[in-house]
Amino acid sequence: MKFNSDVEAANALQASYKRLKDEISKVIIGQDEVVRLMLTAIFSQGHCLLVGVPGLAKTLLIQTIASSLDLQFNRIQFTPDLMPSDILGSETLDQERHFKFIRGAIFANIILADEINRTPPKTQSALLEAMQEYSVTIAGQKYALDRPFFVLATQNPIEQEGTYPLPEAQLDRFMFNVKLDYPSFKSEVDIVKATTTSSSYQVQKILHGNEIREFQALVRKVPVPDNVVEYAVKLVHKTRPNTTMASADANQYLEWGAGPRASQYLVLGAKCNALFNGKYSPDIEDIQAVASPILRHRIVRNFKAEAENISVDDIIKKLL
């Protein structure tokens, strides 16, 4: 798909986003905000951490998005005995006694890392290079991953016995930490009606890999006013306790705040959110629209916040 101008490309992205939302909503009911954030991450070349209790269609959601984007999809079920080679692949000897690389499940466009906190840190860290550099290294040989490449990891917030919390370095690789809540009463009625009959809906292909890469490049080219960049950076600085720009709430309730990657993702997410809404440049409202899922996993509460039952989201609302 070739565009005569960036404005034409921006209009095409907005139209494609609306078509994607409409198509996904035929299968996934009542999760419009989650879909918006996941599509924002894809077009911003980021990754998502999806947190929700079992039975909220996390797997179906990402399968539906992958189908609507005509991308190769692999699901990896993380378990305590999963090894890095199960994800990345390994070298084996063929019949002629030559080493041959067998690709692992990571070699796809969209990866669902299901219940990522159920596997030990050694295996969790196997995703780090892939998420950051879009490549994996096996026996000293580097193998590039196909683009676009998007990791969606899920976590179950209950049943924490025998789990391995993601280290901060790995959490920081995720653009968004998205909370998946229970559906509303009306949405759940619609879900039950749609899923208890013999009929099923076949998702239509809306975008292909080359088109997605073009839109990802377009998001990077969107101009951002200085005041919007400064607002994003100030917001991140306000989360850092005991610094010159720290807010009173950060000093009172936070152990430590977000790093520079949060500022980068705030601006990237705002660019994409602006394009989705038909704007050619983001404003402060676009920063605020992506702030909570970007900051949620990058700030850590102290004992006082836990004792007073003040959540991370409560603190972010005060900062905004």
Ramachandran quadrant class, 180 (left: phi over 0; alpha: psi -120 to 50; beta: rest): beta
Tokens found for residue 136 = 């994996």
Query: Which of 154, 182, 210 is the last residue in one of the domains?
Result: 210
Q: Is residue 27 part of a domain?
A: yes
Q: Is residue 254 part of a domain?
A: yes
* Statement to judge: residues 312 and 196 lie in one domain: no
Residues with Cβ within 8 Å of residue 65, at least 6 apart in sequence: 20, 24, 35, 38, 39, 42, 110
* Statement to judge: residues 186 and 240 lie in one domain: no
Mean pLDDT of 112-118: 86
For residue 251, what is the domain's CATH number?
A: 1.10.8.80
Cis amide linkage into residue 167, ω under 30° from 0? no
* Statement to judge: residues 139 and 230 lie in one domain: no
* Statement to judge: residues 130 and 272 lie in one domain: no
* Statement to judge: residues 74 and 145 lie in one domain: yes
* Statement to judge: residues 72 and 172 lie in one domain: yes
* Statement to judge: residues 144 and 165 lie in one domain: yes
Q: How far apart are the first and last CA of the chain?
A: 39
Q: How far is CA 59 from the centre of its chain?
A: 14
d(CA 159, CA 220): 40
> What is the rounded average pLDDT for all residues in the chain?
85
Q: Is residue 215 part of a domain?
A: no
Query: Which of 153, 187, 210 is the last residue in one of the domains?
Result: 210
d(CA 314, CA 249): 10
d(CA 175, CA 294): 6
Dump pLDDT digits (tens) for 173-232: 899 999 888 878 888 888 787 777 777 767 788 888 888 898 999 999 999 999 999 999
* Statement to judge: residues 296 and 204 lie in one domain: no
* Statement to judge: residues 299 and 179 lie in one domain: no
What is this structure's pTM? 0.88
Is residue 95's pLDDT more than 80? no
Mean pLDDT of 157-177: 76
Is residue 4's pLDDT more than 90? no
User: What pLDDT does 158 receive?
Assistant: 64
Residue-number span of the structural domain to which 169 is assigned: 6-210
d(CA 83, CA 101): 16
Report the domain count for the chain. Answer: 2
Dump pLDDT digits (tens) for 231-255: 999 999 999 988 888 888 888 888 8
d(CA 299, CA 252): 13
d(CA 99, CA 90): 10
Is residue 42's pLDDT more than 60? yes
Dump pLDDT digits (tens) for 9-39: 888 888 989 998 888 888 887 788 888 999 9
Tokens found for residue 45 = 């070349």
* Statement to judge: residues 244 and 123 lie in one domain: no
* Statement to judge: residues 104 and 46 lie in one domain: yes
Dump pLDDT digits (tens) for 255-283: 888 889 999 999 999 999 999 998 999 99
% of residues, the chain, pLDDT over 70: 96
Mean pLDDT of 41-63: 83
* Statement to judge: residues 107 and 161 lie in one domain: yes
Q: What SS3 state is found at 150?
A: strand
